Structure 1
């Protein structure tokens, strides 16, 4: 896997079909687990956030113009007899300033997590190095510093250990036979194939993914480690008498690989949340300036006679007011687009560990 640096689950959402403790199966991909159509999932998670905001803004513009053109009296008549423009855009200026202030507050909350006394910073560093040491011991090689290759190393370890377990069971079956060993071999063969296939697929998605976009986090959602941990525990419980000491050690190592993927993914997800909220704060502040300018111009320049005439039966003043209203809403649609992804991702990764917070198939 090549190095990478950037790109909407924990137990509540990860892939690969597995049997849970009640004998039911979970779906392989996040889209199948979510039970949503492809377009909806793309809009909520995969789509470029500013693009989603732009589409929402266009929808607002079309809806505004359509409503203003259909209902009577028309907006042009209202502008001539009263001053709805002043009322509307004076309110929008207040909303924009208030919203920008709120976003700055959100950004400050994110940055607050990075601040602290020296002792706290040292503790954070020690905790991080401790986990890296565990991963290095697991993989037998230095731990990558890139988020995508870091997750890839854990997945490679899980895949290798699953294959080693399968080979160990097959080799021992050459010397031992019986119904207990046959049942164990069947379970292990199926389980190892599922892990290897799922891990290899996700590793392919991580290859070349760069942190900062959504690619790394989205790929990590497609490895369903939670039911896999439960499956390891169930194999030990169901076939305890048939397992050799070496096979128990391999199962323990596989369980450790799967359990390390959970906090590793949660850490990468948390970093992405912080990255995305900082990007959101910056973009909204950028968008607030032109939105304020447009709102100010509408207050001071536009009246009933500024844009005379009609196009396709729609008054020009209606088109201008609708466009200006959509532009002033752009900071809000940016906020909506980012928060939709963050909330969707958070819901699908609520639990950590062998808990499945969704319906099983």
Structure 2
């Protein structure tokens, strides 16, 4: 993280801090390839699972066709189909059972005695009261609008602080000139970042990834650290009203952190429940296909070839890909959950190296 802002230039001075603070989006902070982040986070999970299934089919057919002897020849001499799909059936049943267990663990967090539920309610209402005190009105109940209200509060206080300090920037005092430049740069970063995220939150519906993905692009942790540095370095140069605005900005940023984490946690539970349901749906046709391959298909079931590829190879490859569809769904969803968890490990003004 950047060091103290002072009048002397240093590797950790204003130039380094400005470049760090302008990296607001998660892609910029993570320094990841755009296509990679799109695949891990933004892409529709069903599309990712479909692409993985297609990749399995293509790889299977290519390997079975190019290796010697070919699959068609091996089927005539032995029974690899029964061995392959008998094992697949066992894997499907075991995987579906595991998914049910995961779903039960998620639902367990929602169960508990009356006292625990009352404590959860009290904690939730306490946070909403804090947000109401900050914004001056009851906070919204929609997750996207709730985060938007906190960003609006942060934007309003950042603008008010900047305008107040600017009014005194024409004075000849060098210290106040330095305060104005520091506050102006910081407030511009807060307003620009918040406005961009608010535009993406507008109309976003919870259940999709849009709300969480937009919230990830507000880099509140760095901004909290910057507020602390401004208060430490320029606190004496600020008026009482300006210190109050700075405190209000700090409160808005500090409330955004747990609010985003709460929305992220709810999304995790939502996604894992969807994953459990989809895998159970996919397990039924996967079992049917695998069972049919074990009992029906042999070397003579699909004679002939197309473009030099034996029909039996295409059928076995397609059936194998369909049988692995539950696993493809699991991979697609868990990739997003794990990537999101890694990018949001720290809460507050802590910046992990992998998040920079």
Give the TM-score category using the shorter length. Answer: over 0.9
Give me the whole-angstrom Cα distance separating, in 2, the residues matched to 1:42 and 1:354: 26
**1:276 and 2:271 are equivalent in the alignment:** yes
**1:254 and 2:249 are equivalent in the alignment:** yes
Q: CA deviation at 1:169?
A: 1.0
SS of alignment partner, residue 141 of structure 2 = coil
Partner residue of 1:221? 216
**1:198 and 2:204 are equivalent in the alignment:** no
1:232 to 227, 230, 249: 227
2:151 to 149, 155, 161: 155
**1:90 and 2:86 are equivalent in the alignment:** yes
Q: How is 1:37-52 mapped onto 2 (pairs within 5 angstroms)? A: 37-52=33-48
TM-score normalised according to structure 2 size: 0.94
1:57 to 53, 56, 81: 53
Partner residue of 2:287? 292
* Alignment root-mean-square deviation, CA: 1.3
CA deviation vs aligned residue, 1:267-324 (integer Å, no higher than 9, x gap) = 0000000000000000000000000000000011100100000100010000000000
Question: Contact (CA 8 Å) 2:343, 2:355: kept in 1 or not?
Answer: no
2:133 to 125, 130, 137: 137
Give me the whole-angstrom Cα distance separating, in 2, the residues matched to 1:323 and 1:340: 24
Give me the whole-angstrom Cα distance separating, in 1, the residues matched to 2:227 and 2:255: 14
Q: How is 1:274-353 mapped onto 2 (pairs within 5 angstroms)? A: 274-353=269-348
Partner residue of 1:8? none
Partner residue of 2:237? 242
SS of alignment partner, residue 353 of structure 1 = coil
Do the aligned partners of residues 117 and 360 (structure 1) sit closer, same or farther apart at CA in structure 2, a change above 3 Å counting? closer
Question: Contact (CA 8 Å) 1:19, 1:227: kept in 2 or not?
Answer: no
Give me the whole-angstrom Cα distance separating, in 2, the residues matched to 1:146 and 1:190: 32
Partner residue of 1:125? 121
**1:76 and 2:39 are equivalent in the alignment:** no
CA deviation vs aligned residue, 1:62-99 (integer Å, no higher than 9, x gap) = 00000000011111111111100000000000000000
Q: CA deviation at 1:359?
A: 5.9
Q: CA deviation at 1:34?
A: 1.6
Aligned length: 343
Q: CA deviation at 1:19?
A: 5.0
Partner residue of 1:4? none
> Which 5+ residue runs of structure 1 have no aligned equivalent?
1-17
> Which 5+ residue runs of structure 2 have no aligned equivalent?
5-11
Q: CA deviation at 1:171?
A: 2.5
Q: CA deviation at 1:28?
A: 2.2
Partner residue of 2:178? 183
TM-score normalised according to structure 1 size: 0.93
SS of alignment partner, residue 239 of structure 1 = helix
Give me the whole-angstrom Cα distance separating, in 1, the residues matched to 2:71 and 2:263: 50
1:104 to 100, 104, 126: 100
CA deviation vs aligned residue, 1:232-253 (integer Å, no higher than 9, x gap) = 1111111122111111111111
**1:356 and 2:346 are equivalent in the alignment:** no
2:62 to 59, 66, 88: 66
Question: Contact (CA 8 Å) 2:72, 2:299: kept in 1 or not?
Answer: yes
SS of alignment partner, residue 324 of structure 2 = helix
Do the aligned partners of residues 359 and 68 (structure 1) sit closer, same or farther apart at CA in structure 2, a change above 3 Å counting? closer
